[in-house]
Amino acid sequence: MKKIIRASTFSILLAVVLQLSLLGSATAAPLPSSLPDPVVTPVSGDMEFTTELLPVQQFPGAQEYNQMLVPVGFPLGEAQFLDTGVVVSGMDSGTATACFYFTGAESGWGGKVGVWNGTKWVLLPTTITDLEESPNSLACAPITGNGYYAFIKYISSPEKLPTGKPWCQVTLLGFFQQGVDGGGTRYFDMLGVFPEITNSLVTYTIIDPGMSITGDLTGSVLSDATGNFSFSGYSWVVPESYTFILHLETSSCYVEYVRVHYVEDNEI
């Protein structure tokens, strides 16, 4: 879905896991977004131009890898897009500031604002600010013209990762989804394979920055002799708009996935 904003009004994973089945859909009115919209603010020159919010999958230079959207030109698995980018048009001269909200800075996530130059994504000098009394951080970069802008997220501070264990190798990770009455989605019966870690305790934790997710936010099971594990009977419910980090940990390694989804109004 798209939404038009005008700068003159001062408007504002490591992978998305494999979805095994979609059994329903939500129909209630959208809840407030877990992440605010990107902001483009004029600084000098043209004080009025148009910005359009678009899903990054509609941008050039975006490719799918392990069920997530990643920028071309980067090592696969090392960087990913946020869901929404900004298209700037009508900016003939001057400068502006493009800002994107993201989560996970306290766990080592960072990144930079990128612009598509026609053949590749170019990272811009970016300042990241941790917001007070908020789980979000704000990444801002100066821009000087029209184009496609997006936030490219990656691990920038490995020392902040939640454990000293190495990253796990996962050959499959998935869960079922089902719409719930009143809006939102229930995730349930997560399963996966850690091929090199067998007969191990596997623990998941849902890190919920918005404190809006209910249900089984943590659980533990044993993997079998081939590394398969299944959290049958475990579930959690998210609103229509949400952000969460899925943290999976075994006796010897861990892995995290960031999942962000929000519903926008179709206002112009």
pLDDT value at residue 115: 96
Residue with tokens 């398969």: 228
| Model pLDDT, residue 116 | 95
Pair 109, 130: CB distance under 8 Å: no
Rounded to an integer, what distance in angstroms lies between the CA atom of residue 190 and that of residue 202?
A: 12
0.75 cut: is pTM over it? Answer: no
Point out the residues of the chain with pLDDT beneath 50: 1-33, 265-268
For residue 86, what pLDDT is reported? 95
Distance between CA atoms of residues 100 and 128, nearest Å:
9
> What's the CA gap between 5 and 3, in Å, rounded?
7
Handedness of CA 157, 160, 161, 164 (dihedral sign): positive
Q: How does pLDDT run across 156-186, given as a tens digit for each residue?
A: 776 666 656 888 888 778 889 898 887 888 9
Q: What is the pLDDT of residues 140-149, one digit of tens each?
A: 999 999 999 9
**Rg of the chain's alpha carbons, rounded to an integer?**
19
Q: Is 211 left (phi over 0), alpha (psi -120 to 50) or beta?
A: left
**Torsion sign over Cα 91, 35, 69, 104:** positive
Residue 13 has a pLDDT of 30
